[in-house]
Amino acid sequence: MALPKAKTDATDARLDGLSLPEGAAWASAAREAAMGRVRAMGLPDRRDEYWKYTRPDTLVQAEVQAAAVFEADEGPMYDGVDRLQIVFVDGKFDEGASDDLSLEGVSIERLSDAAEKDIHWAKDVYGVLEERGQTPVERPLAALNTALAEDGLLIHVTGRVSKPINLIYHHRSETSDAILHHVIKLDEGADLTVLENGPAAARFNKVMEVDVADGAGFHHVRTQGRDHERRAATHIFARLGKESTFKTFTLTVNGVLTRNECVVEMLGDDAAAHIAGACVGDGDFHHDDTVFVTHDAVNCESRQVFKKVLRNGARGVFQGKILVKPGAQKTDGYQISQSLLLDDDSEFDAKPELEIYADDVACSHGSTSGAIDEDGLFYLRARGVPKEIATDLLTLAFLAEAVQEIEDETLREELVGRLDAWLQRRRG
């Protein structure tokens, strides 16, 4: 079906003058195919069903809206964790600030270096999972990323990596427009934890493709913030093999616009995928979690757990779907999205979906939105706890179910501590 002329014209105007990065044949072919997808789909607009609740205008326009650089007033994230640190500044790799990329059980390369090699393992993953994730829902911003990304990491995991890899994103320019593309391939039985933190840029487009082989485990914890004016569109595309594990958690604080998409294909029996997130929004804040999990194997488990705390007119969105294909018997799919609205001006829009073509499954979804627990607030106030502190305690308790999806206790405590500190700072 031909695109509407208005959409074609808008897409052509945005792409006019852009050129694809140079590289070896495999990289050039992937980029050209991705650009072809962008032109065929058109860049998103409000008439697209999956952008019904979120305006994509500032994510696709040529001009970057300036975002003031937030001056950090706290220590580095994950500072108490032994980790390998890799730093990007406004979307560019900072070698001087990064650790040596050597680590047992894993090889790490920059996309710009790997793309110049005639033969590379990334040929079978780069742009491949993103392209698979375009069906049945089109995700043109991800295809645009595959076409234009010049920097990012290619991580090949061959064993159980002894410490996490921490990707740190600094924002230094008020008009930075960053595009990063990471590819992570885990061999059979391998295990890796990836930590991400930082605002990254005034506008940020990031794709992470994760290929998890049989018996492998991927663990991901991400914090986004605390710049007030940043805009971001992120995508994770994951493919899971037999008896593999995929777990991701995202904490978002501040930001004018954030859209996090996660697309997971469960292709091997007995696999597990847990996708969770929590956000705290205040004022001019729009946060969108869009998730699509496909069960295409037997006895697989998926969990989607999302909590949003909104105040002063902030807006939250959750779009989550579980698709159970024919033959995917014994599927266990769970989905919950909840919001805590701290005033009458904030808004939460939820669109949970189940599409099931197998008869031996246990799938459920639910979504709720409400105010602070008045009974709990009364209980704390009656025992001398000031109202603002009592509200923060109940807020932390509300977010707990999502945070508990983080498997590592040290990381859980780190994020709860940060949340508590941010809430205290807001009171001050």
Please name which of 425, 428, 422 lies closest in space to residue 309, comparing C-alpha atoms: 422
| pLDDT confidence band for 155 (50 / 70 / 90) | very high
- Tokens 């074609």 map to which residue? 8
Structure tokens at 101: 């990329």
Tens of pLDDT along 273-294? Answer: 999 999 999 999 999 999 999 9
Angle 352-357-360 from CA coordinates, rounded to 5°? 100
Beta bridge partners of 209: 183, 237
Residue-level pLDDT at 310: 96
Tens of pLDDT along 404-423? Answer: 999 999 999 999 998 888 88
Instruction: Taking residues 131-148, report their average pLDDT.
Output: 97
Structure tokens at 410: 């040290």
Of 123-132, 269-278, 416-425, which range is least confident? 416-425
Torsion-angle region of 161 (φ positive above 0: left; ψ -120 to 50: alpha; else: beta) = beta
Residue-level pLDDT at 46: 87
Residue-level pLDDT at 377: 94
Instruction: Taking residues 180-195, report their average pLDDT.
Output: 98
State which H helix or E strand residue 31 sits in: helix 25-41
Q: Is the pLDDT of residue 227 over 90?
A: no
Residue-level pLDDT at 135: 94
Asked if 38 and 165 count as a contact pair (C-beta separation under 8 A), the reply is no
Q: Is the pLDDT of residue 75 over 80?
A: no
Q: Is the pLDDT of residue 72 over 80?
A: no
d(CA 53, CA 50) in angstroms, rounded, equals 8
Residues in the chain: 428
Asked if 305 and 339 count as a contact pair (C-beta separation under 8 A), the reply is no
Instruction: Taking residues 78-107, report their average pLDDT.
Output: 96
Instruction: Taking residues 64-77, report their average pLDDT.
Output: 85
d(CA 345, CA 407) in angstroms, rounded, equals 35
Q: What DSSP string describes 88-116? A: EETTEE-TTTSPPS-BTTEEEEEHHHHTT
Residue-level pLDDT at 73: 65
β-pair type (92-93, 84-89): antiparallel
Of 3-12, 174-183, 265-274, 294-303, which range is least confident? 3-12
Q: Is the pLDDT of residue 37 over 70?
A: yes
Between 423 and 240, the more confident residue is: 240
Mean of the per-residue pLDDT values of the chain = 95
Asked if 34 and 128 count as a contact pair (C-beta separation under 8 A), the reply is no
Q: Is the pLDDT of residue 261 over 90?
A: yes
Residue-level pLDDT at 2: 80
Q: Which amino acid is at 242?
A: K
Q: Is the pLDDT of residue 1 over 70?
A: no
d(CA 195, CA 222) in angstroms, rounded, equals 6
Q: Is the pLDDT of residue 225 over 80?
A: no
Angle between the N-to-C axes of helices 374-382 and 387-403, in degrees from 0 to 180, rounded to the nearest 10: 130
Asked if 192 and 221 count as a contact pair (C-beta separation under 8 A), the reply is no
Beta bridge partners of 334: 303, 364
Task: Report whether the peptide linkage leading into residue 140 is cis, meaning its omega lies within 30 degrees of zero.
Answer: no
Q: Is the pLDDT of residue 315 over 90?
A: yes
* Helix, strand, or coil (residue 145): helix
* Helix, strand, or coil (residue 233): strand
Q: Is the pLDDT of residue 198 over 70?
A: yes
311 phi/psi in degrees, rounded to 5: -150, 160
Q: Is the pLDDT of residue 127 over 70?
A: yes
Q: Is the pLDDT of residue 331 over 70?
A: yes
Structure tokens at 418: 């940060």
Q: What share of the chain is helix, strand, coil (3-state, %, to 5)?
A: 25, 40, 40
Residue-level pLDDT at 428: 61
State which H helix or E strand residue 186 sits in: strand 177-186
Q: What DSSP string describes 286-323? A: EEEEEEEEEE-SSS-EEEEEEEEEEETT-EEEEEEEEE
